[in-house]
Structure 1
């Protein structure tokens, strides 16, 4: 794919008139729907929104002569604030912004593509200097809006595929692979997997794929997996660990989708009278502070979350213009040996 195909002419703004023509309605109707004003038939609204998504249209909230200028806003979209992972990214962003003229505006998508699309459209309407989104996976409408936007776009947390502009993060598939290799080298052969709902969590899915590859190369696989249908939490990790051991009591090491879930596994073992490291070994992901302060420090893989946020901001402060080719910045990962695996 050519560079000009990836990054359309950012000066060519889709107009209300183009949306109206495609949807076969008046420009006034398009404007009312975008402002969510008045009563409009559902069929008309759906036709207009389909045209909006197809064209990548973003309403302009800046009037008159200001319409061609970027604001000092930096839009930041994260999927969750339920654990310390994304707040640490936000701390890095704030550290990077310190002393600059820019201000961050943060929204939470709850891992929902439709919510992300709506939030991106709302942010771009204010012509921000940059938009920082989480991950490289978006729906088609969101990707189109980001590609056609006038500001910088930073996709945070992963670098497993090519970004729109710049990606800052780690290779999650490699992280999963190295996790399994590390545990195989320690002599483990009976593996289990415990996870939150990883359906919308591409990064967790990539790590699982990497683990499965490393185990397959060793002629092994997961004896059993226990996956919740809810977001991650310590409580869910505790319940899912109990369920895993009910299904496969011969599992000797459980790999968890993240540290929240792994801490829940530790609590289950404590409650059930199981010896951690003997009856069941536990390995997490993220390197959260709570894991370091357990009676037996959690064995896990640390991601450089603060660095990801800070580096993302540094990239947009270095230049207001996108590079000729997309850039990936690998912030790496580190295995924390701990005492649970």
Structure 2
């Protein structure tokens, strides 16, 4: 799929700050000194006043500036980067693209890991923004409302990376996960497959995988196929998940023709199980997935999959931040596209 870009349109405010101490004080009906006492955890403030101040802080998306004072005039050379997991091997490639780009401009990435927890992501955003980074990159497109409030109020440029969203907080660089899964399902239906199964991690935690599953299963049903077995597991996505749980998936139905895995790591584990159990792939059972990981293409049978341009998305997201910092007007939405890979597992 070719890259497409949507030119900048009015989004979040760029020049204004994330609230001020004075604005918080006015909203709470107290003095700036009282607000400062509350934020510093001083005990000589009534609970009623604390509650009013905290409510104003939350409503305004105010984050205390830890670089005030001696560092007030310093230019930040750090970018905050928040990813869902370090256990999922797709994210190090995104980080590589980000850091390679930042290195050329003298910036550095400060990394936080949310573990697919939107509440934790919001806490990380608040903590990182308190140090006033030059920009922030988040490998996610769905956020807790507290995170959205802080991000929209921040003067720092924000890029949501990995998932394509038509209403980004500021800018986004990603791909359409549903469209990628639809393409995969259409290719497999064209090959004659009709009885499908799904194996992957918890779809409530991994929202992108959930979008792919929905697009895939809807297309299968529309094309005359059927999802005869499904298994999602609440544990980190990886090769081990695929190998450990493949037997349980296959036990659900004797009619499975092909397994669609949430990503290449899971599919690689599933393929290892098949090879160990003497299941002929793709003659007895076919496999397809998403990611285009090196491990998937290095298996005895390279996987049929979708390649997502992870390094490129990381690099582009950092470029968008740097462009904004340099006074340019980068595209608000960048579709990085994807590529279908015909492997040997179908």
Same fold (TM over 0.5): yes
Cα displacement string for residues 202-227 of structure 1 (whole angstroms, at most 9, x for unaligned residues): 21111112112211321333111111
Pick one of 98, 119, 137 that aligns with 2:103: 98
Q: Does 1:234 align with 2:252?
A: no
Which one of the candidate residues 182, 185, 188 is aligned to 2:190? Answer: 185
Separation of aligned partners in 1, 2:343 and 2:53? 55
Deviations 1:116-150 (A, max 9, x none): 11111122112211100112111111111111111
User: Can you list the C-alpha shifts for 1:230-275, whole angstroms capped at 9, x where unaligned?
Assistant: 2212222123321111111211101011111111211221232211
| 1:274 partnered with 2:279 | yes
* CA distance 1:19–1:250, shift in 2 (3 Å): same
* Conserved 8 A contact 1:81-1:108: yes
Aligned match of 1:71? 76
Measure how far apart 1:319 and its partner are: 2.6
Please show how residues 118-129 of structure 1 align to structure 2 within 5 Å. 118-129=123-134
Match of 1:336 in 2: 341
CA-atom RMSD, angstroms?
2.8
2:217 to 212, 215, 224: 212
- Using structure 2 for the length normalisation, give the TM-score: 0.88
Aligned mate of 2:173, from 160, 168, 172: 168
Count of aligned pairs between the two proteins: 339
Q: TM-score, normalised by structure 1?
A: 0.89
Match of 1:111 among 113, 116, 120: 116
Note closer, same or farther for the CA distance 1:61–1:277 as it changes in structure 2 (3 Å cut): same
What's the offset of the Cα at 1:27? Answer: 5.6
Task: Name the SS for the 1:143 alignment partner.
Answer: helix
Label 1:18 to 1:53 Cα distance change in 2 as closer, same or farther (>3 A).
Answer: same
Residues 17-61 of structure 1, C-alpha deviations (whole Å, 9 max, x = no match): 544565678766754664567799999877755543322111111
| Corresponding residue of 2:254 | 249
1:85-135 CA distance string (max 9 Å, x none): 110011111221232121111111111111111111122112211100112
Rate the CA distance shift 1:178–1:48 in 2: closer, same or farther, 3 A: farther
The equivalent residue for 1:159 is 164
Taking a change above 3 Å as real, the CA distance of residues 37 and 92 of structure 1, as seen in their structure-2 partners, is: farther
Q: Distance in 1 between matches of 2:273 and 2:231?
A: 14
Kept in 2, the 8 Å contact 1:76–1:132? The answer is yes
Question: Mind listing any 5+ residue stretches in structure 1 that lack a counterpart?
Answer: none
Unpaired runs of 5+ residues, structure 2, are: 1-7
RCO higher in structure (CA 8 A, sep ≥6): 2
Q: Which range is displaced more, 36-45 or 56-65?
A: 36-45
- Residue 292 of structure 2 corresponds to residue 287 of structure 1: yes
C-alpha contact 2:19 2:60 (8 A) present in aligned 1: yes
